[in-house]
Each structure stands twice: as structure tokens, then as C-alpha cells.
Amino acid sequence: MTLVLLIAIPVVTAILALAAGSRPSWSRALALLGALGTLAVAGTAWSQLAGADAPLTYELTVAGNGTFLSLMADGLSLPLVALTALLGAVAVLTSWDVERTGPHMALLLALEAAVTAVFLAADLILFYVAWEAVLIPMFFLIGGWGHDNRRYAAMKFFAYTFAGSALMLVGIVLLIISGGAGTSMSAAVVLSPETQRLVFWLLAAGFLVKIPVVPLHTWLPDAHVEAPTAGSIMLAGVLLKMGAYGIMRLCVPFTPEAFAAAAPLLAGLGVVGIVYGAVMALGQHDLKRLVAYSSVAHMGFVVLGISTGTELGFQGAVLGMVSHGLVAGLLFFLVGALYERAHTRDIGAFGGLGETLPRWATVFVFASLASLGLPGLSGFPGEFASLVAGFAGFGWPIAVAGLGVALAGAYTLRAVRRVVHGEPSTDRAHVDLSAREIVAIVPLAALIVALGVWPRLVTDLARATLEGLAVLAGMVS
Amino acid sequence: MDLMLPAAVWVPAALVAGAVALGLVADGFGRRPAAVGIIALGLLGAAAAGFYYAITGEAGVAVGSFASGAGFTSLPSVGYVLAGFAVVAGYRRYATWDRGPAMAGLVALGALFAHALLASLDIVVLFVSLAGLAIVGYSLVAGAGTREAEESAIRYFVQGAVATGLTVYGFALVLGLGGSTSYLEAGAALGGAAARPALVALGLVLSVFAFKLGAFPFHAWVPDAYDRADAPSVAFLASAPKIAGVVALLVIVRGTLFESGVFAPASQLLSALAIGSLLFGSFGMLRQTRVARLLGYSAIAQIGYALLAIAAGDAGVRAASILVLTYAIGAAGAFIALEAVQRVRPAWDGSLEGLAGLSRHAPLLSGALAAIMLSLTGIPLLAGFWGKLYVFIALVDSGMVWLAIGAGVAAVVSFGGYGSVIKAMYFGPDNDVTAEAMQEADTETSPEGERGGSPLAVTVVLALIIISLGAAPLVLGLGPVFSLFSL
């Protein structure tokens, strides 16, 4: 029942927030209440799973027949569900003063519910339904509340991800039909190598666009830059994780042979993403675009970790996903807060914010250090594990990824130097972070530190599940 | 021919025919509002009766020339509902226009012919109902009364005349080879007939359906007619006849007339028609500046999915009927929504740009139309998804994986069209369009509290049906839908 609440609370509060549209303060309060309620339930689910030997499950039966509503939370999905709940609350706090509050809050909560449903789905049809349902609120958030080029960005976002997911649907249908074991995601299905390859690539089409890997990434910078802050936080924080989650949840168990065959290619895509994202980030003048490209790089590490098919690599991927969710969420929050004050995101327009906005600058430096993978903060353990697993699996070519690590230092510190240090720009933002903004930042920052110091916070929960996945992936390689 | 008809066939038909007769009498006495009201009530009453028989009656009964029970009764009832909704939505238009009651009567007669076509088990019934629907179609397009509409109607009629000619040849061949007007008897004989003339008969009959359904290569009339006729009439033309045509084709190709092994090439032929329709329809949508034309191309593409399902063989029977059912509800909703837009913005010229900012003035209407557009795209949580899903399942099940992939790509392309409607309503004008344009749109919106009236109410009802049909199966499963609409 806990699992149903994780989806039901945001859905119900979304409807209420929409209904209260003419009273913005009600919408706000309802949205915050819903987001915090979901977060509390996610915490409960976490403690339930930590104390249990088996995944949490929920299955609805109507008149003795199973339906598509079948949910499951295990060590792979629950960290992402908790991340979604946390970022959902942060996103609500970010968009406190947004215009047309009611619809905006409703879309945010609907988005949260849909993403949560993706992570919790234990039925292939439900998984696809939730996957597509994510598109609708995000499409309206970008198009309705985005910046200058929002119409183009919204259509591009939808077209790219819908193209991927249309192929994914064919893959899912092929999986259901050739597996012959119904629509359950935990069915033991053995497919012929030929079918596996087709199913794998159809599914991967949807997942790789979503992650995104280079060269399928071009929707991401546009969508990120044009999206309102709350949209960017959810997009970078949790939507990108859906792709990596999908590979681990569907491709590894259902098509292990095809996954093993594609592993070197996936690793290559991961490394290309790491380097390409870093190089592109180095060349950006727009802070938001910089963070967007750094997301491509960080997700490259996640793909690299997954491609190894080992427990260590999977742990690196899960840690990397949670960490990137926290760090990118924090960075987009900060960039959004700065834009609200200065109405520009051009790195060149700022300087000396360390003096004029000391609190903002402190948090920005902190988040940047977490982003470049400083040991002791959350970015480090995941990327380190992915690299180690990558070296063990694929040898010296992975050293290229080291270049990306060095570049990450370069682009991050360049941004920090330009924005935080130097001559103060007098005509820009004067108002430092408010109490509401600090309330949103504190949990993110605390978790970034906690995860950096004690990564077992997540890996202990995930271990059993990832072990099982690694066994499945290892059976063939 | 056996003239004993089951109640599920004659009761709804008699209600509609009676209402039309009564309506025309009322019109004769100058009572236009009463006439239109009676016709609307007759249609909705026929639908209610049909659903009653579909739920309580026996499934799949064939008596004489007609099939009834389950889908054969419930799907025509959906046609009656949508026709009734079209008349309700067009009430003000029809009740204040001297030709109005006749138009409403045509819609009702069309729904009646659609019922006959759908339930037909006999070539004579098939021919009469096809011809009847064609005449209703020409008249509804011409009835709009503008010069452009008359021109479209003439073009539609000329193309239709060619199709009717093909029909005559096709049915002559079927009769000659099959020796009976009954599908079942003729089908049995056709199975043993010489392959070549039998295939010619198949080709001719498929051409007729391609024209009737607006499929490639006989699709050219669709966007024209949909754009020029008045919205409530198109709401009918784009819905009930499509359901009837697809089901009739299913019965002929997958159940009776062309079922035997001789007709295996039917699948290739249908696939070719389907691929052409998907290409012309989906890509055609991208270039449109007028909403009704866009929906016309959408109709071509959607029929493409239905034909793909029929091509997939027996696995596609369920898929084709679910797809066309969800499409028809969406199409009717879309055109009725356009009628509502016309109410909210009397000066609207039918262009996509003219929808700019609608979400601010008419949030309910915009929300309903957006849901309808997403349903037509095939996005989950909306009815259209289940149609697309079952088409994919049918294709994959019969080994046509690559066609499934192609159909998926076509769905993505079509979003370029459906999405542009949403974009226009919700995402405001482009930045190079100044605030003046928005202001202009504001003044165009009728100030004195005109809120869309009955078309708005009907649009919202249809959008709610689409949302419930989309979301409820997640919780309840698809069992109820299948048992009500099974063929």
C-alpha cells in the first residue's frame, strides 16, 4: 500500500492544486503538502525495504483477475524513487512565485507521480504507460513556462523522446509476445539470440535517447536551457535516470546475451559522452547550458558503469545516478535562483558574486566541487566505481574517460572563477538566498556530503538487487 | 433474403428512422428547433437501446442479412452516440438555418446506413448502405453552402462515382463467381473459384473500401471535404462511417467473403494501402496551416493503422476494431471542439495561428482538445493508446515487426501535426509576434460571456470518455472493453 501512496498522493494533490488554481497560495500549500507527504512515504518505504529480505510489492486484482497495476520496489528502484520525492519537494519550493501557480504545481506533481510510477512499475504495460505519461507534464512545463525559445524546445523534447519510446513500445510488445509469459516484468523469459538482439536494440532506442548518449543527446541542452527551473531540476535530476534504470531493469534481465554483445559499444558511448559533455561544457557561456552538458558527461559515467555488467559497475551507476540527481538538482536550483535575480545566465555578465551574494556563492562552490567529483562528496564514489569497473572490464581504452575527469575540473573551476571571483559586477543581483531557498538547499547539500562520506547509505540497500542483476548479466559473458 | 430481424438490429434503426421522419414533419411546420431536437433524441435513444441489447443480448448472432450482438450492436451504437453528439453540438447552427433540420436528418440517416454497413452479411445490403453513405457524405459537404464547399462536394462526388463504378464491377464478379448475395455462401464458392478473377474481385472491393475510408490511393478528397463542410457534419463523417467501414472490411476479409487461402495476397495489398495512407497522412499533417485539413490528413493516417491491423490477419480483428473505435471518438471530439472554438471566437478563420492564446480564454475547451490530440497521437492514459498498442501487438504477433516499427515512426511524425495544435493553444505566440497579436486575439474573443455552449459541453464529455477509456483499463483490465466490443 505504501507503494500505491507514492503515486496516489502526488496525483490527488495535483488535481487539488489545479482545482485551487484561482488561489495561488492554496495551490502552493497543497503542492508542498503533497510533495512532503510523498517524501515521508518514500522514507517509510526505505525503512521497510531496509528491514525486509524481499522487494516490496503491490498487486491489484479485480474480481480475481490480475490487472496492469502491479508495483515493486527493490534496491534498484527505491533509491531513485526517494530521489524523485526529494527533488519533487525541491522543485515545488523553487517554483513558489511562478505565474499561473495552480497549473504549474499540478504539472510538477503529475510529473513526480509519473516518474515514480516508471520506477515502481512491475508490469511492462504499466511501465510504458508511465514512461510516456512523463512526457506530457514535461512538455507543458517547458512549453508553458519556459524561456524565449520554449516552443521549439518543447516540440523537440517531445519528438525525440517519443521517437525513442515508440520504438521501445515495439520492443516491449515483441518481448511480451515472444516471451509468452504475460506482461509481468519479473517473468523468467528466455528469448532466442536473434529475438534478444532485436528486443534489446528496440528497448535501447528508448533508453539511450532518454539518458541521453551522444549522438542522441541534442534535445537535452535545448530542453534544459528553455525549461523553467523546476522543470530543469526534474529533468536532470530524475528523468535522465529513467533511461539508465530501464537498461538495468529490462535489458539486463530479459536480453542478457544481447546486452553482453552490446557492452563494448555501450562502454564506448559512455566514454564518448564523458569526454564530449566535458568539452562542450568547457565552451559554454550560458551557465544553464554548461550544467546541461555536464549532465551528459555524468550520465556517461553511469552508462560506463552499467556496460560492465558487474556488481561494482552497477553500484557505480546507481551511486552516480543518485549523486547526479542531487548535484544537478542543486546546480539548476542555484542557476535558476541567479537568473530570477539577474535575468541573465551569461557567465561573462557575472563576477565577484562571492562578495555580493556570499551565501549563493558558497553553495555554488560546494555544488561545483561535488560535480567535479571531489572525494568526500557524493560525485566521487560512483564515478570512481564506474571507472574501476570499466578498467577491469575493458582495459586501457577506458583511460580516455580520465580526460573527461580532468576536463570536468577545468570547466567547473572556470565557471567558479568567472562567477564567484573577480571584480564584483555592480549592476546585477543583490538579494542573497532567502530562507525558503535555503530550506530547499540544506537537504540536498546534507545528502551530498552524507553520500560522499558513507556511500553504503545507498549501496547497502541496493546490494542484493544489483548482485542478482550482475549474476544475470554474468551468465553469458 | 430472410426478413426476420433481431430486435438489436431493427429497434435502434426504427428509432432513428422514426425520429428523422418526425423531424422532417416538424420542419415542414416551420418548427426547426423541435425538428433538430427530435432527431438528436432519436439518435441518442437508438444508442441507448443498442447498448442495452449489446450488454444483455447474445453475442455474435447472424440472422438473415444482418449480424448482431456484442460489437455488431455496440459499435453502431457508438456511431449513433457520436452522430447524436454531432447534432447536439450543431444544434444552434441547425436550428437557426433553413437547411439545418435537413442536415441533422442527413447525419441521422448516415448513422443508420453506417449501422447497416457494419452489420451487413449480404452484398445487396452492403451495396445499398455504401451508396447511401456516399450520398449522405456528398450532401453534407455540399450542404455547407459555400462556393468552396460545393466545389469540394463535386470533386468528392466525381471521385465517388468512379468508386461506385468499381463497386458495381466488383460485386458483379463476386456474384458471378460466388453465385449468391450472402457473404457466407458466396465466400464458400469463391474459395473454389479460379484464382485470377477472384483476386480481381478482391482488388475492386478493396478499392471501394479504400475510397470510402479515405485510404491511399483514394484519399485526396478527405482533407478538402473535412475543411469545407461545417464542423458538426464532419464530426459525424469522420467517425461513425469509419467504424462501419473498418468493421465491414474486417467481416469481408477476415470472416467471410475473402477468407479462403486463395485470398492470401489480401494482406500484402492491405499493407500497401496502409503504408501509403500512413505516409501521406502523417507527413501531410506536418504542412497544414488549417486545423480541419490537419485533421483530414490525420484521418488518412489513422485509417492506415486500421488497415495494417486488418492486414495482420486474425490477430488484427480486435486491434482494428479497438483502434477505429478510439479514433472515431477522438475525431468526433476534435471537430466538435472546432465548433466550440468558433463559438468562443466568432471571427476564427480555422487557422492554427488563430488558436493562439486559447488556453487563457477557454481553459476547459483547450484542455479537452489537448487531451483529444494526445489521444489521437496514441499517448497512454488516453483511449487512443490502447488502439495503437493492439495494432502493434497484432503486427508483432503475425511476424510483421518491421511494419510495427514503421507504424511507430509514423506516430512520431504525426505528433508534429497534433502537437502543433497544442502548441498554438498553450505555448503562446512566437517571440517575433508581438503583444499586439495577443491583444488582437483577446478582442476577437467574444466579450459577452459566450462560453462555447453545447459544443463545449459535448467536447468535454467526449474528452472525459477518452480519459476514462485510457486510464480505467490500467485498473480494471481490458476485459470489459473486449467483451462489449468483440466481433
| Residue A119: inside a domain | no
List pLDDT tens digits, range A91-148: 999 988 888 888 999 999 999 999 999 999 999 999 999 999 999 999 999 998 988 8
pLDDT of residue A199: 95
Q: Are B32 and B100 in contact (CB under 8 A)?
A: yes
The SS3 of residue A46 is helix
Residue A8 sits at the chain B interface (C-beta within 8 Å): no
Q: Is A166 in contact with B427 (Cβ distance < 8 A)?
A: no
The dihedral through the CA atoms of B4, B7, B13, B17 has a sign that is positive
pLDDT of residue B432: 41
Round to whole Å and give the CA distance between A150 and A172: 32
Q: Which residues of B113-152 are buried (b: 16+ CB within 10 A; e: fewer)?
A: bbbbbbbbbbbebbbebbebbbbbbbbbbbbbeeeebeeb
Residues contacting residue A21 through CB under 8 Å, at least 6 positions apart: A27, A100, A101, A102, A103
pLDDT reading at B435 higher than 50: no
The SS3 of residue B467 is helix
Question: ω into residue A215 within 30 of 0, thus cis?
Answer: yes
Residue B430 sits at the chain A interface (C-beta within 8 Å): yes
For chain B, the structural domain boundaries read 264-487
Q: Residue for cell digits 555592480? A: A426
pLDDT of residue B20: 94
DSSP state at residue A60: E
Q: How far A64 CA lies from chain B's nearest CA (Å)?
A: 11
| DSSP symbols for A188-234 | -----HHHHHHHHHHHHHHHHHHTTPTTS-THHHHHHHHS-HHHHHH
pLDDT reading at B433 higher than 50: no
Residues contacting residue A375 through CB under 8 Å, at least 6 positions apart: A452
Q: Is A66 in contact with B423 (Cβ distance < 8 A)?
A: no
Q: Are B254 and B183 in contact (CB under 8 A)?
A: no
> What would the grid cell of residue A425 be?
559586477
Higher pLDDT, A422 or B42: B42
Among B395, B396, B433, B482, which would you mutate to test the A interface (most chain A Cβ atoms within 10 Å of its Cβ)?
Answer: B396
Among B376, B393, B427, which would you mutate to test the A interface (most chain A Cβ atoms within 10 Å of its Cβ)?
Answer: B427
pLDDT of residue B429: 64
pLDDT reading at B259 higher than 90: no
Of B199, B157, B156, the closest CA to residue B174 belongs to: B199
B8 pLDDT tier (thresholds 50, 70, 90): confident
Distances (CA, A) of A129 to A12, A85, A126: 18, 20, 5
Round to whole Å and give the CA distance between A51 and A461: 10
Beta-bridged to residue A121, according to DSSP, are A71
Question: ω into residue A212 within 30 of 0, thus cis?
Answer: yes
Q: How far B268 CA lies from chain A's nearest CA (Å)?
A: 21
pLDDT of residue A137: 94
Give the A:B interface size as CB pairs under 8 Å: 99
Strands A56-62 and B66-68: unpaired
Q: Are B347 and B439 in contact (CB under 8 A)?
A: no
Residues contacting residue A227 through CB under 8 Å, at least 6 positions apart: A138, A141, A142, A145, A146, A153, A235
List pLDDT tens digits, range A309-352: 999 999 999 999 999 999 999 999 999 999 888 888 888 888 88
Phi, psi of B376 (to 5 degrees): -65, -30
Q: Which helix (H) or strand (E) holds A73?
A: strand A65-73
Residue A4 sits at the chain B interface (C-beta within 8 Å): no
Which of A130, A143, A167 faces B405 most closely, judged by CB atoms?
A: A167
Measured between beta carbons, which residues in chain B are less than 8 angstroms from residue A60? 475
Q: Are B438 and B348 in contact (CB under 8 A)?
A: no
Torsion region of B322: left, alpha or beta (phi above 0 gives left; psi -120 to 50 gives alpha): alpha
> What would the grid cell of residue B13 be?
434503426
pLDDT reading at B443 higher than 70: no
DSSP state at residue B221: H
pLDDT reading at B61 higher than 80: no
Q: Are B399 and A178 in contact (CB under 8 A)?
A: no
Domain count, chain A: 1
Each of the 477 residues of chain A gets a pLDDT tens digit; together they read 789 999 999 999 999 999 887 788 899 999 999 999 999 999 999 999 988 888 888 888 776 666 788 899 999 999 999 999 999 999 999 988 888 888 999 999 999 999 999 999 999 999 999 999 999 999 999 998 988 888 899 999 999 999 999 999 999 999 999 888 788 888 778 888 999 999 999 999 999 999 999 888 899 999 999 999 999 999 999 999 999 999 999 999 999 999 999 999 999 999 999 999 999 999 888 999 999 999 999 999 999 999 999 999 999 999 999 999 999 999 999 999 998 888 888 888 888 888 888 899 999 999 999 998 889 899 899 999 999 999 998 888 888 888 888 999 999 999 999 888 887 776 666 788 888 999 999 999 999 999 999 999 899 899 888 988 898 887 654
Q: Is A170 in contact with B396 (Cβ distance < 8 A)?
A: yes
| Residue A363: inside a domain | yes
pLDDT reading at B59 higher than 80: no
pLDDT of residue A429: 62
Measured between beta carbons, which residues in chain A are less than 8 angstroms from residue B420? 155
Beta-bridged to residue B66, according to DSSP, are B63, B120
Q: Are A250 and A163 in contact (CB under 8 A)?
A: no
Which of B374, B416, B476 faces A159 most closely, judged by CB atoms?
A: B416
Residue A188 sits at the chain B interface (C-beta within 8 Å): no
Residue A128 sits at the chain B interface (C-beta within 8 Å): yes
Round to whole Å and give the CA distance between B269 and A332: 54
Measured between beta carbons, which residues in chain A are less than 8 angstroms from residue B414? none
Q: Is B474 in contact with A162 (Cβ distance < 8 A)?
A: no
Round to whole Å and give the CA distance between A201 and A258: 8
> What would the grid cell of residue A50 be?
531496509
First to last CA, chain B: 23
Closest chain B residue to the Cα of A151, Cα to Cα: B427
Q: Is A158 in contact with B419 (Cβ distance < 8 A)?
A: yes
Q: Angle formed by the axes of helices A456-474 and A435-453, to 10°?
A: 60
Which of B265-269, B330-334, B414-418 comes out lowest in average pLDDT? B265-269
Q: Is A177 in contact with B374 (Cβ distance < 8 A)?
A: no
List pLDDT tens digits, range B175-206: 888 888 888 888 888 877 777 888 888 899 99
Of A314, A310, A332, the closest CA to residue A76 belongs to: A314
Q: Is B409 in contact with A163 (Cβ distance < 8 A)?
A: yes
Which of A60, A155, A177 faces B423 most closely, judged by CB atoms?
A: A155
Q: Is B405 in contact with A135 (Cβ distance < 8 A)?
A: no
The dihedral through the CA atoms of A220, A83, A45, A30 has a sign that is negative
Q: Are B352 and B420 in contact (CB under 8 A)?
A: yes
DSSP state at residue A397: G
Q: How far B107 CA lies from chain A's nearest CA (Å)?
A: 35
| Residue A7: inside a domain | no
Q: What is the pLDDT averaged over residues B299-307?
A: 96
Q: How far A391 CA lies from chain B's nearest CA (Å)?
A: 37
Among A151, A165, A216, which would you mutate to test the B interface (most chain B Cβ atoms within 10 Å of its Cβ)?
Answer: A151
Q: Is A173 in contact with B409 (Cβ distance < 8 A)?
A: no
The SS3 of residue B67 is strand
- Residue type, position A352, single letter: G
Higher pLDDT, B38 or B193: B38
Q: Is A162 in contact with B405 (Cβ distance < 8 A)?
A: no
Residue A174 sits at the chain B interface (C-beta within 8 Å): yes
Round to whole Å and give the CA distance between A38 and A122: 20
Helix residue spans in B345-400 (DSSP H) = 358-361, 363-377, 383-397
Question: ω into residue A228 within 30 of 0, thus cis?
Answer: no
Other C-beta atoms lying within 10 Å of the C-beta of residue A394: 18
Give the domain extent around A456.
262-477
